[in-house]
Copies of this chain bind each other. A is one copy, B any other.
């Protein structure tokens, strides 16, 4: 057979990139087909419709990448320094073009949460999973931190700020504002230590 799995993988890969750059709605199937060099029939053989394609991209591309990005960060011996290094490195290594694309999770949250329930529940589940990941690892070193901290609250706060700064840099087209927010975020995170 022609390699079915490879075709499917290529579609997911290209779709993930297009959705990241243009958003879900603005991503056209014809553009995906052109980049994959396949026909519309091929795509609809593998996916029921555009929405389902979006779900699979989220589940099989974005979600694993997202966890793979945050998990090592926060499971480091010192999660406080892990987070700070994570954000700082992001500030240093990301190109301006990458930065402007924003975080796929935040982008989809903004665009699709209010439009499609299927996306909404998947995004919410991801947010909660990430929150659990961060808050449990903060709790792990709670004896080094300030007393009376609400770890879940702190975790949502950190992620919100990060997503907000991603959004901010979309309008500035440079890393300056992103860097500023990240610097202050690191200052805040380190303040959590007693």
Within 8 A of B (CB), among A118-173: 120, 123-124, 127, 150, 152-154, 156-157, 159-165, 167-168, 170-173
Partner of A171, one of B120, B157, B162, B180: B120
Q: What is the bound-complex CA distance between A140 and B165, given in angstroms?
A: 25
A160–B173 touching, CB < 8 Å: no
Q: Is A111 a contact partner of B109 (Cβ separation < 8 A)? A: no
> Do A171 and B113 form a contact, CB below 8 Å, given A152-B180, A180-B157, A184-B153?
yes
Cβ-based interface call for A26 (8 A): yes
Q: Which residues of B contact A163 (CB under 8 A)?
A: 163-164, 167-168
Q: What is the bound-complex CA distance between A161 and B163, given in angstroms?
A: 8
Asked whether, in the complex, the Cβ of B157 is within 8 Å of the Cβ of A184, the reply is: yes
Known contacts A26-B25, A153-B181, A154-B184, A110 near B159 by CB under 8 Å: no
Grouping DSSP codes into helix (H, G, I), strand (E, B) and loop, the A interface class, with mixed when no group exceeds half, is: helix
Contact between A165 and B171, CB atoms less than 8 A apart = no
A153/B167 contact (C-beta < 8 A), A25-B25, A100-B114, A110-B111 known: no
A150 / chain B contacts, CB cutoff of 8 Å: 180, 183-184
